[in-house]
Amino acid sequence: MSSTSNLPIVALVGRPNVGKSTLFNRITKSRKALVDPTPGVTRDRHYERVVWENKAFILVDTGGIDDNPEDALVQHIRDQAMLAIEEADIVLFLMDGKQGLTPADWEVVDILRRTKKPVFHLVNKIDGPEVEMELLAQFYELGVEQLWSVSAEHSYGFRTLMDGLCASIKSDDVDIELPEGTVKVAFFGRPNVGKSSIINTILGEDRMVVSEISGTTRDSVDTMVTHGKYSYLFIDTAGIRKKGKTKEKLEKFSILKSLAAMARCDVAVVLIDADEGITEQDTKVIGYVLDEGRGLIVLVNKWDLLQDNKKRQEAVMMEVGRTLPFIGFAPILNVSALTGYGIKRLFPVIGSVFRQYSATFPTSALNRLLREAVEQHPPPIYKNKRLKFYYTSQVGTCPPKFVVMTNSYKGVHFSYERYLTNRFREGLGLDKVSIKLFFKDKSEQRGEKK
């Protein structure tokens, strides 16, 4: 059985320089066990999954996400607050204890009063108990139920805050059990790219058994789809399918919802508009998919519009390939939600991406593969010593992750890492997903084990 639990979104809101990114780093830093050495595609990460004791959530710095430099300051923070109360589950509103209360703070607090969601009013830069009374005093004017004094930089009040935050996260959030092997699929793409049309076309196909799983968590509605002997969970499709007057607003504020869906899907299907070509926003979403390590399928939709234009067809596909050289592994399908062209291929492709994404391999086969790869292309000398690779094993799935023990991980150059990664992919038949190799020093591991 797998589960569909949704991670709550905790949004950081506040004026520039109040300490949002410092707090973001403090909260997220504490959770990294296995640090991924490959730099993320999105250089600047403004969201991160956090596990704190037995609670998990997605932390988002709304000051960094959706940043629009043209917004005036006050409008900008007002937008952040609106975004947070519409789409987040818990709001952490930061104020600056050193600077004191400002008119913009008053305004945001008023906006936040409109929501029933938990709001934590934080007074940051309270660096120790000796200044607490003095700095906190004026913030009582706001009349909020509780003020949390913290120091994002020096960690004063941090644990208390985290305990309070975690206590506000319900652990019994509905967690529906799914049939074994259910593939969780989420659809992404800019407004009007055809997400609802595609989903309607798929769900309208013959022999498709469809049931809504409403209220899986909060306001999301997932759709269970059974096709032959396979089950798929389409994540939060109702949110996409629901159309009407509110559309514009929903679409504008879709980024946090996308992150939540991203965090709990196995396969992300990203739609691109064939007629418009690939946009910056498309590459950004794909960057998020890669950072989250999800399976990826790209659909170039509205292919019917290019039906009689071979030149344009080629140009669009070239452009996609050129813009996204780092997703060579991801299947790219031309489809039309309107005519149904190419839609039938989608399920088999989702199936094979998922199989690879969740595949496991016996250690003996992996070691054989490593030995052969090293024999065929011996690693270079590093600091007068031959680089050695001792053994390997799989340390995770979704996507597949492997650790390779070496005598010096520092000596593993990018080009050799890429060589080994490619050999692993070929040898294991993992052509449709990204995989990760971690290199570790054998001596270090011994040290750790004690």
Q: Which residues bind ligand GDP (CB under 6 A)?
A: 14, 16-22, 63, 124-125, 127, 151-154, 189, 191-197, 240, 301-302, 304-305, 336-338
Q: 96 or 389: whose CB is closer to ligand GDP?
A: 96
Which amino acid, residue 85? I
CA separation for the pair 437, 418 (Å, rounded): 9
CA separation for the pair 331, 204 (Å, rounded): 23
Q: Which residues contact 286 (CB under 8 A, 6 or more apart)?
A: 41, 270, 296, 298, 324, 327
| 3-state class percentages of the chain: helix first, strand second, coil last, to nearest 5 | 40, 25, 40
In the bound complex, what is the minimum distance in angstroms from residue 330's beta carbon to ligand GDP?
20
CA separation for the pair 274, 287 (Å, rounded): 19
In the bound complex, what is the minimum distance in angstroms from residue 61's beta carbon to ligand GDP?
7
In the bound complex, what is the minimum distance in angstroms from residue 102's beta carbon to ligand GDP?
13
C-alpha torsion angle, residues 70, 76, 82, 88 (rounded to 10): 90
Q: Which tokens is 334 given?
A: 């031309």
In the bound complex, what is the minimum distance in angstroms from residue 270's beta carbon to ligand GDP?
11
Q: Which tokens is 381 given?
A: 């000398």
Q: Which of 395, 450, 442 is nearest to 33 (CA)?
A: 395
CA separation for the pair 96, 116 (Å, rounded): 24
CA separation for the pair 127, 154 (Å, rounded): 6
Q: Which of 74, 148, 142 is nearest to 106 (CA)?
A: 142
Q: 297 or 437: whose CB is closer to ligand GDP?
A: 297
In the bound complex, what is the minimum distance in angstroms from residue 66's beta carbon to ligand GDP?
14
Q: 300 or 437: whose CB is closer to ligand GDP?
A: 300
In the bound complex, what is the minimum distance in angstroms from residue 248's beta carbon to ligand GDP?
11
Q: 296 or 335: whose CB is closer to ligand GDP?
A: 335
Q: 37 or 204: whose CB is closer to ligand GDP?
A: 204
In the bound complex, what is the minimum distance in angstroms from residue 344's beta carbon to ligand GDP?
14
Q: Which of 388, 392, 417 is nearest to 39 (CA)?
A: 417
In the bound complex, what is the minimum distance in angstroms from residue 144's beta carbon to ligand GDP?
19
In the bound complex, what is the minimum distance in angstroms from residue 351's beta carbon to ligand GDP?
23
Q: What one-character DSSP code corresponds to residue 137?
A: G
Q: 196 or 434: whose CB is closer to ligand GDP?
A: 196
Q: 20 or 184: whose CB is closer to ligand GDP?
A: 20
Q: 196 or 356: whose CB is closer to ligand GDP?
A: 196
Q: Which of 182, 125, 114, 183 is nearest to 153 (CA)?
A: 125
Q: 4 or 336: whose CB is closer to ligand GDP?
A: 336
Q: Which residues contact 235 (CB under 8 A, 6 or more apart)?
A: 184, 185, 186, 220, 222, 261, 264, 265
